[in-house]
Structure 1
Amino acid sequence: MRVKTDAVDARMLARMGSALELVPDAPAAEDQNNLKELQIARTALVKDRTRLKNRLKTQTLAFTRRQMQARLAQIERQLTALQGEMERLINTCPKRTRAYAILRSIGGIDQVAAAAILIECPEIGALGKKQIAPLAGLAPMTRQSGTWKGKAFIQGGRKHLRDALYMPALVESRFNPDMRDKYLAMIKAGKPAKFALTAIMRKLIELANALIKADRKWKPKLA
């Protein structure tokens, strides 16, 4: 009988797991999908805000300007509410709450970027240095054939994770002495600005991963 066979199989698998001391994989956080849905909604609202701001520059009729401004104000309220809900869900998990606090300690990473990084890369802190950059699509790759060697480039990875790192990297390349020196050195060496900024993004995600793995906040170097 099928039901009886299934019960026997289940007991057999349980005994095998016990004998081998196997531990089942921890289930993904139940609210991870909810966080992702909130992030998608936030991205859509940001796009709407940018589109409306651009249209507002060309509007001369007072009536349409008032309507657009009202819609922009509504979008700002919705963005604030979305961010609050994201942080509420993040704080339902102690491990994620700690990772969020560590991310926020890094200069340039605000609450929006920290939430986005955790949502787009829930594995952060559990990966090695050589794993985190390719995951974000920030590991440099070079086309090579025989003695010919082309320019380095990036490909693949999680685009939304790279998007979350862009503004923090831009801030760090201007205000963090170490990051700024690295950025300016690459520019001085003739590297394109985009290439240099990508390197800063890679440094940031590697730093964030290392700090979360070590369970410690970032501290600026003393002069």
Structure 2
Amino acid sequence: MTYVGIDVSKATFVVAYSSAKGSETKTFKNTVKGIREFIQTISPKENHCVLEATGNYSMLLVYLLSKAGFVVSMENPLKIKNFARVMLSVVKTDEIDARLIALYGERMQPAPFKLRNDSILLLKQKRTVLRQLKKQLTANTNLEGSLKVLPFIDSKSKKVLEKTIKFLQKQIKEMEEELTSLAEIEYKKQMDLLTSIKGIGATLAAALIIATGGFTYFDNAKQLTRYLGLSPTYQQSGTSVNVKGHINRNGDAHLRSQLYIGAMASLRCNTECKACFERLRSNGKPGKVAIIAVANKLIRQAFAVVTQEKPYVDGYKSAKP
């Protein structure tokens, strides 16, 4: 299997058919036509394509390659960046980056990327638009508040802001309803299982389904916790390095915030989460650390009910010794 390195940008992508210095590279347009031209130059049986995850710019390429039967790996850019440091790379161009990605594939042999199904892609688009609408609403609300402290307010500006805020609130409400509705239609069973956990509502359940592809991207709850950036870190070396641990903060910061809020809500009604929080607090752990631990417990509960296909029973005690 020959690894093909691909460096993707908005308008084009550069392909390195080999990692060897001075080997052939070729540039294609990042369009359907350009991707099809690239596909004609490689073979599904002989080539494994590797590229960095660059958000929406790489999704069309990954989608068409996967549909054409190619093995594709889409890696975290941080992995490629750290690999370049290990290889003592000091020059950065699109061609060199493509060869470096091909070399990364040869040395690291990354796992194939699991293509998201169409419903997950639609849910992700709705979630992205919803988040941007909320950011715009926050910005306009803050602007309206800042104008109110002025000696006098321009009536036209005030009217425009009020209309904009009402429009954004309406759009946000509609998008939230559509997102939840689509999640309940496509993943009704998982939504029912997840919302059976006290502390996880429809919004958080839908967010977990989107992030995990319907709980198909991870083998266990520990992998999901690491992906969401809630894994504790610790640095210790000899007698001079002993850094206090914190969460790794990788992955989706917005979903991490939702889980934090869900963890706080679960303290009122989820027996296991409440017991976990009280135990950690009695052992002297800070409140935020205990909440993070509760968020991890919520993830484990979510993973358990979905994989076992059984609703959550609050306060359940196993019959096993």
TM-score scaled to structure 2, two decimals? 0.54
Shift, 1:141, TM fit: 1.9
Alignment partners' CA distance in 2, 1:175 and 1:72? 35
Q: CA deviation at 1:122?
A: 1.5
RMSD across aligned positions (CA): 3.0
Separation of aligned partners in 2, 1:26 and 1:175: 36
Where does residue 290 of structure 2 map in the other structure? Answer: 196
Q: Which stretch shows the higher mean deviation, 65-74 or 99-108?
A: 65-74
Residue matched to 1:97: 188
Q: Name the structure where helix makes up a greater proportion of residues.
A: 1
Structure 1 residues 188 and 213: CA distance shift in structure 2, 3 A:
same
Separation in structure 2 between the aligned mates of residue 140 and residue 123 of structure 1, nearest angstrom: 25
Counting only pairs closer than 5 Å after superposition, residues 77-96 of structure 1 correspond to structure 2 as 77-93=170-186, 96=187
Question: 1:28 maps to what in 2?
Answer: 116
Q: How many correspondences in the alignment?
A: 200
Q: CA deviation at 1:62?
A: 7.7
Q: Which residue of structure 2 lines up, in the alignment, with residue 117 of structure 1?
A: 208
Q: Which has the higher contact order (CA 8 A, sep 6+)?
A: 1
Match of 2:139 among 51, 54, 62: 51
Mapped partners of 1:73, 1:206: distance in 2: 39
Secondary structure at 1:28 match in 2: coil
CA shift in 2, pair 1:183/1:69, >3 Å? farther
Aligned counterparts of 1:51 and 1:183: Cα–Cα separation in 2? 35
Is 2:273–2:298's contact at 8 Å kept on the other side of the alignment?
no
CA contact (8 A) 1:121 1:161 kept: no
Partner of 2:263: 169
Say if 2:180 and 2:203, in contact at 8 Å, map to a contact too.
no
| Contact 2:271–2:314 (8 Å) recurs in 1 | no
- Establish whether residue 213 from structure 1 lines up as the match of residue 303 from structure 2: no
1:212 match: secondary structure: helix
Report the more deviating stretch, 169-178 or 109-118. 169-178
Q: Give the C-alpha shift of residue 214 in structure 1.
A: 0.8
- In 2, Cα distance between equivalents of 1:139 and 1:81: 34
Q: Which runs of structure 2 are paired with 1:71-82 in the superposition (5 Å)?
A: 71-82=164-175
Larger % of strand: which? 2
- After TM superposition, the score normalised by the length of structure 1 is 0.75
| Alignment partner of 1:178 is 2:266 | no
